Structure 1
Amino acid sequence: MYIHLGDDFVVSTRDIVGIFDFKANMSPIVEEFLKKQKHKVVPSVNGTPKSIVVTVQNIYYSPLSSSTLKKRAQFMFEIDS
């Protein structure tokens, strides 16, 4: 199944590694990971990013909140089951 991340981005739920709140204090490990993977970042086009979605291939800055994306992913998981 697929999940819409906003900004016309759609990814497979199987490819999602993690969803993080953009404004939350992230651990130093996550911050270091994001710095090293800058070349894979797909920035948000419409406004300020509210969440970070890490996939197998890219890192998306999404204008949708992490709780909204989590609900969408959970809903898709329930449909898939």
Structure 2
Amino acid sequence: MYLHLGQGVVVPYRDVLGIFDLDNTSSSRLTRAFLERAERAGQVVNVWEDLPKSFVLCRHGAEAPVVYLSQLSTSTLLRRAENNSFE
């Protein structure tokens, strides 16, 4: 199964560690620090050109986790994961 994050970006569902709402989680100092470190390390992939609504944390084997920024809401991503949908 795969999760479609938008703009043709698809990740294996088994690699998804978590789906997070940016509005809710970015109020945390720890989350902001994590995202800043990931961006400096080149581990952030912006799936959309607009303002992101969510981020998906994925692992790819033994490599460092990758953060995908998506304009899709967490509820849309979760629905896609549950339905295995490519809408």
CA contact (8 A) 1:2 1:13 kept: yes
How high is the sequence identity, in percent, across the aligned residues?
41
Query: Deviation at 1:29?
Result: 2.3
Q: In the TM superposition, what are the counterparts of 1:8-47 in structure 2 within 5 Å?
A: 8-26=8-26, 27-38=28-39, 39-47=42-50
Q: Which deviations, in whole Å up to 9, do the C-alpha atoms of 1:5-50 show, x marking residues without a partner?
A: 0021100111111111122243222222111111100113342211
Structure 2 CA distance for aligned equivalents of residues 58 and 16 of structure 1: 10
Residues 7 and 63, structure 1, Cα contact 8 Å, conserved in 2:
no
- Asked whether the 8 Å contact 2:6–2:48 carries over to 1, the reply is no
Q: Which amino acid aligns with 2:55?
A: I
Per the normalisation by structure 1, the TM-score is 0.80
Question: Whole-Å Cα distance in 2 between the matches of residues 2 and 59 of structure 1?
Answer: 16
Number of residue-to-residue matches in the alignment? 76
Give the counterpart letter for 1:73 in structure 2.
A
Structure 1 contact 7–46 (Cα < 8 Å) conserved: no
Q: Which structure 2 segments of 5+ residues have no match? A: 60-64
